[in-house]
Chains A and B, each alone.
Chain A
Amino acid sequence: MRFDPDFAVSVVPTILGGLGTTLWITVAASLCAAALGFILEILRRSNRWLGYVMRFVIDAIRSTPVLVQLYFIYFVLPVYGLTLPAAASGVLGLSIYYSGYLAEVFKGGIDSIDAGQFEAGKALGLRRRDVIVSVILPQMLRNVAAPMGNYFVSALKATPYLAVIAVPEMLGLAMEAGANSFRYAEPMVAVGIIFLILALGINFLVRQLERRLQAAHER
């Protein structure tokens, strides 16, 4: 079977029907993963015993396949009475999965902040949470912009996993187009190129952000 460029172009609108879903899931999962990862890392630092527990939680999240986590949320939790819509399950699954990795990124970002910054905040009489939010968080974000951006791209590329729990994202629609026409090469190439463009776009934005933060640092 020869590759048919016209057919490839013709399936693009169908696939782009899932663009909105793919994008909002990526954004929602990235933001939730960052928030959750930050909370995990802050709890890990708060005291010794909670530290051990959080260390285990972070490692456990990172050490189980994302598909297992997704299946668990979508197929197992309903057995125990918690049924979430497919898209919400997908956002939850990706958020949890990437929170483990982002917690590690944040650990490095916080470790590289001078201990004098915590002390200065403390000495001024700030509450721990004010030190964390006003002193540590902004400096950490500056340190981790690049690796955090990588995980956002990674989250984008993980959205096709959600095809297995029937979320109408782009890979799912491409598969459908393939099944309807018995031609898979064209939809797969098309969806691959769309992901490539999106990922390069996010990379570009992250690099811009990094440059701006860097400039702020050198002020």
Chain B
Amino acid sequence: MTSTPSAPAVRIAGLQKWYGSFQVLHDIDLTVQPNERIVICGPSGSGKSTLIRCVNQLETHDRGTIEVNGRQVGKTTPRMHILRRDIGMVFQHFNLFPHLTVLQNCTLALRKARGMKPAQAEEVARHYLGRVRIPEQQHKYPGQLSGGQQQRVAIARALCMSPRIMLFDEPTSALDPEMIKEVLDVMTDLAREGMTMICVTHEMNFARTVADRVVFMDAGRIVEQADPQTFFEAPSHPRARQFLSQLL
């Protein structure tokens, strides 16, 4: 990869996206520096998930530019799959491969995309399964695990690729309350280690303790971004104030 070390991890400028005639994203500008932790919040339907899905081009955008690790991404980007290897993603519904064991879920991309030998891939996978604190479940199938365990496996699966950025799309929204903490703990560890993270989440405590910057979206626009303290103590935009008053 030929990106310069000083390049932002993600640079989004003038981003617009439509679903048919409905505009879901309006003039989004957002720059994320390496090692920065961003939490994106806002009411449902505000375009948060769509925005982070544009970063790894699971959704294509219609106007504006997105650069990830110094490389422009878009509809016509050749070999997008190679760029995606540096962008980990964790989904709301885990999206583990149900026909593969925990270990195989983690090694698939290492073998197919990184060309690793099985033994080497398994070693990497075990390392990350240990980091998400489930080293003992490696031969089980996703269906045999709790939601919290599945989401931690999903995080390990993404980490195996040694991504430079991690995207989290409401990683705890589908979890039972008692399992949210175990997933947030893993994410907090990851943040402490300096991983560049963009998290769409409603976990305001996580945002408060982990985020360097909170981005608040409403109706397809970024209406406020601030450090967590400013955002939670003195939000300037009325929509942000309203949103926070409903949450807290």
Query: Interface on A for B, CB 8 Å cutoff?
Result: 114, 116-117, 119-128, 130, 134-135, 138-139, 142, 216-219
* Top-6 shortest CB links A-B: A125-B85, A120-B95, A116-B95, A124-B109, A123-B89, A125-B84
Q: Is the CB of B98 within 8 A of A139?
A: yes
Q: Which residues of A contact B232 (CB under 8 A)?
A: none
Set of chain B residues within 8 Å of A117, measured between Cβ atoms: 95, 97
Partner of A125, one of B82, B91, B98, B99: B82
A122 & B58 in contact (Cβ 8 Å cutoff): yes
The smallest C-beta distance from B238 to any residue of chain A, in angstroms, reads 35
Partner pick for B108 among A119, A126, A128, CB 8 A cutoff: A126
On chain A, the residues within 8 Å of B158 by CB distance are 123-124
CB-CB under 8 A from B99, the residues of chain A are 138-139, 142, 216
* B141: min CB distance to chain A, Å: 4
CA of A134 to CA of B104 in the docked complex: distance in angstroms?
11
Can you report 27 residue pairs joining A to B where beta carbons are below 8 Å apart?
Answer: A114-B95, A116-B91, A116-B93, A116-B95, A119-B95, A120-B91, A120-B96, A121-B97, A122-B81, A122-B84, A123-B56, A123-B84, A123-B88, A123-B91, A123-B158, A124-B84, A124-B108, A124-B109, A126-B81, A126-B113, A130-B112, A134-B112, A135-B97, A135-B108, A139-B98, A139-B99, A217-B98
The binding surface of chain A is classed by DSSP as helix
Bound-state CA distance A114–B81 (Å) is 20
Supposing A116-B91, A120-B91, A219-B143 touch, asked if A125 and B109 sit within 8 A by C-beta, the answer is yes
- Apart from A124-B161, A125-B113, what 7 extra A-B contacts exist at CB < 8 Å? A116-B95, A125-B82, A125-B84, A125-B85, A127-B113, A134-B108, A219-B144
Q: Which residues of B contact A121 (CB under 8 A)?
A: 97
How far is the CB of A88 from the nearest CB of chain B, in Å? 35
By beta carbon, the residue of chain B nearest A113 is B98
Give the nearest-CB partner of B87 in chain A. A123
Shortest distance between the CB of B181 and any CB in chain A (Å): 24
Interface assignment of B213: CB less than 8 Å from any CB of chain A: no
List chain B residues, Cβ under 8 A from A142: 99
